[in-house]
Structure 1
Amino acid sequence: MSSGGRGSMLAQPLQRPSGGRVAALLGLFVLGAVVALAGALVQAGWFPGGLLLALAGAAGVFLGGAYALGSRAGAVAPVAGWIVTVIFLTTSRPEGDFLFGAGGGTYLFLLGGMALAVICATLAPGRQPGGDAPRLGK
């Protein structure tokens, strides 16, 4: 059917990621964690503006990572760092200390960040099959 093409993208063997790509993904993971920590502090400090700033920063890191690496993995790495950090920050300590209060802004930050994570991972550019022809078989 095909004239010497590489075949379907799904039929291609998986390739090992390069060391630079792994380092970029780890860096994006840490950056997502830093944005979550900063957002947790800012969203409660200046309620309406701080919440919007925290969510805009999270969306910027999620979508920016996706476009920087050119794949959905670039969005998933900072999302993973963000979610792990936010979950870690929501737990209370034995002394009763916690970072998040039980308010509407906190829930908007948590749920809004998760919604942004899904949206940015969906909008991220996926892998595209290689080839010069605009249609198969040409």
Structure 2
Amino acid sequence: MSGAKKRTRATTGGKGPKQGAPAAAAGGRNATADGGTAGRAPGTGLAAPLSPGRVAGYVLLLVLGAVVAIAGGLVQAAWFPGGLLLALAGAGGLFYGGARALGRTGGVLAPGAGWLVTVILLSDSRPEGDFLFGASPGTYVFLVGGIALAVICATGAQMRANGAQAARLGG
């Protein structure tokens, strides 16, 4: 018996590789005998199947992102600077809530995409001369601040999904 077969039988309990098992299950890196990856529960990886409830959650968050963008666009210009802070707090709350509700980075990406597309469409000038966002510093802070909040929430959601621990420097 060759060395590769001995190692394979030793890792699978002497039964040899399973028929149709992925190559990783036969001794690949970070593989377990049952075909899963080490340290990850089944169905929690990036390739986990989408359930109808999760798809509905993503669609709901996409629509809520558009609604928050419209409301923020109206509020940020009306009550400067308090309206700007309120609009950014609403966007940040939606992004953070989406990440916590779905437990995935997609919980931030869906409302972030809805928010960004809506803000871009509302800032486009029309032939009639109508536009919702004027060229003021508050408008740019709202646009850049919303994008920064989405990136911060997505990074935090990714770190939580990977199981990153809080670190203390100097201790």
Distance 2:147 2:116 in 1: 8
- The answer to whether residue 102 in structure 2 is matched with residue 102 in structure 1 is no
Deviation at 1:3, TM superposition (A): 6.1
- The answer to whether residue 64 in structure 2 is matched with residue 31 in structure 1 is yes
The match for 1:65 is 98
The match for 2:52 is 19
One-letter code aligned to 2:161: G
Q: Deviations over 1:71-115 (max 9, x none)?
A: 111111000000010000010111111000110100100011111
Gaps of 5+ in 2: 1-10, 12-30, 164-171
Aligned length: 126
Give the alignment's Cα RMSD to 1 decimal.
1.9
- Provide TM-score, normalisation by structure 2: 0.69
Q: Percent identity?
A: 62
Deviation at 1:7, TM superposition (A): 2.0
Q: Note closer, same or farther for the CA distance 1:3–1:87 as it changes in structure 2 (3 Å cut).
A: closer
- The answer to whether residue 44 in structure 2 is matched with residue 44 in structure 1 is no
Does the CA contact (< 8 Å) of 1:75 and 1:121 recur in 2? yes
**Structure with bigger gyration radius:** 2
Which structure is richer in relative contact order (CA contacts within 8 A, separation 6 or more)? 1
User: Would you tell me which structure has more helix in proportion to its own residues?
Assistant: 1
Spell out structure 1 runs of 4+ moving beyond 4 A.
none
The match for 2:126 is 93
Does the CA contact (< 8 Å) of 1:71 and 1:127 recur in 2? no
- The answer to whether residue 89 in structure 2 is matched with residue 56 in structure 1 is yes
Distance 1:78 1:13 in 2: 19
